[in-house]
Amino acid sequence: MKPLSHFPAPMERYPGCQLTYCLNIHPGETLAENLAAIRQHAVAVKQRLAPAAPFGLGLRLSAAAAAELRTKAARRQLCDELDALGLYAFTINGFPFGQFHGARVKEHVYAPDWRTRERLDYTCLLAEILADLRPAGMSGSISTLPGSFKPWIHKDADVRAMAQNLVACARHLAALREQTGREIHVGLEPEPFCFLETTDEVIHFFEGPLAAACADAAERELVRRHLGVCLDTCHVALQFESPLTALRRYRAAGIRVSKIQISAALETDAAQAGALQPFDEPVYLHQTKARFFSGELLAWPELSDALPAIAASGRMETVRVHFHVPLFWEGAPPLRSTAPDLSAEFFREACAATEHLEVETYTFSVLPEALRAGGVVDCICRELEWVRRKL
């Protein structure tokens, strides 16, 4: 792979800041399926947005696809093909381990979780792959699940197991950096109904169980270098938190912002919650939160559970749903998007906080038909152009 000087920036001219979209929007569990999506869709996006410059990719590799890249020869072949297409990879979505399209995913997306050796080995392999794919002089990021699905965590031993495996991952990343000179960092991605869902919970975990799992101060420093947070702005919105405030709090706590996933949640007034019914689909988990007029929050693990409770209550003000909607979508009353929360000030600080920005609207295939007008390439390009205007 050519050195970083060959890559001025995929679309922007912001020093050190890379913008892409996540390929988890495209179905594909094998390496061949991933490559077919890249040739068909990512190349088309590049031709529209960066015809004369290399275009950075946000890969999504399942455990099966990653296993196909276990050898250096396989990685070199992939690297050469991407280079020939004018593409390169700088980040990987390592959250979904198994199938992510075309079947019921729901809570299975969190398995295996960070209590298991399987999750550790998979993430370490992704790091080795990314170290061989990304351009020289550029760090690589991997987003991963925030520990586990909260209903699965019942005892302190579960928390200790997650912390110990994450420290082991950081050790592997540090050894990889020593051996290759290439820095890879992993970002835990807080999400509703997960072990880590709020900014408070993330900070507590880093300062408490994760720090306690380290052998000494030097190892704690190593962990802070290689482990951080993937800030997904849809997930932050579901907590009714400000994305700018969350970003500032992570930085103040010394937690690395490994990557920012730019996404928007679905929102409506509680009195109009029935309009959310078309978004109650069978593939993905659509965690739902409602804010009362008092400011109190109530949460449900699934939209189908939330709708009857919201209809029966007269004390709720606003409802937000974990359903990623296109950033450019301005809403269809009574439905809205949380995209307006992404202010110019947020984007200024985002570019200062991390090298990696990634649009992530993986729900394209299950969006209502009106929101899929123009096709997937058009939707991706419009989202990236929306971010470019904000930047």
16 backbone φψ class: left, alpha, beta (φ>0; ψ -120 to 50): left
| Beta strand spans in 94-147 (E) | 140-144
- In this predicted structure, the answer to whether residue 376 has a pLDDT above a threshold of 60 is yes
Q: What band does 16 get if pLDDT is binned at 50, 70 and 90?
A: low
- pLDDT above 90 covers a percentage of the chain that reads 93
Q: Are strands 227-232 and 264-269 parallel, antiparallel or unpaired?
A: unpaired
Specify which residues 60 forms β-bridges with: 93
Q: Encode pLDDT of 33-66 as tens digits.
A: 999 999 999 999 999 999 999 999 999 999 999 9
Mean pLDDT value of segment 220-240: 98
List the domains of the chain with CATH numbers. Answer: 4-264+339-390 (3.20.20.150)
Residue showing tokens 């991933």: 34
Q: What is the pLDDT of residue 14?
A: 53
Percent of the chain at pLDDT exceeding 70: 96
pLDDT tens track for 110-133: 999 999 999 999 999 999 999 999
Full-model pTM: 0.95
Q: Report d(CA 1, CA 80) in Å as an integer.
A: 7
Q: Which DSSP string do the residues of 262-299 spell out, in sequence order?
A: E-EEEEEEGGGGGGGGGG--SSS---EEEEETTS-EEE
**Rounded to whole angstroms, what are the CA distances from 347 to 51, 244, 280, 321, 357?**
25, 9, 31, 23, 10
How far, in Å, are 21, 130, 221, 257 from residue 285 at the CA level? 21, 28, 35, 25
CB 176 within 8 A of CB 221: no
| pLDDT, mean of residues 10-39 | 85
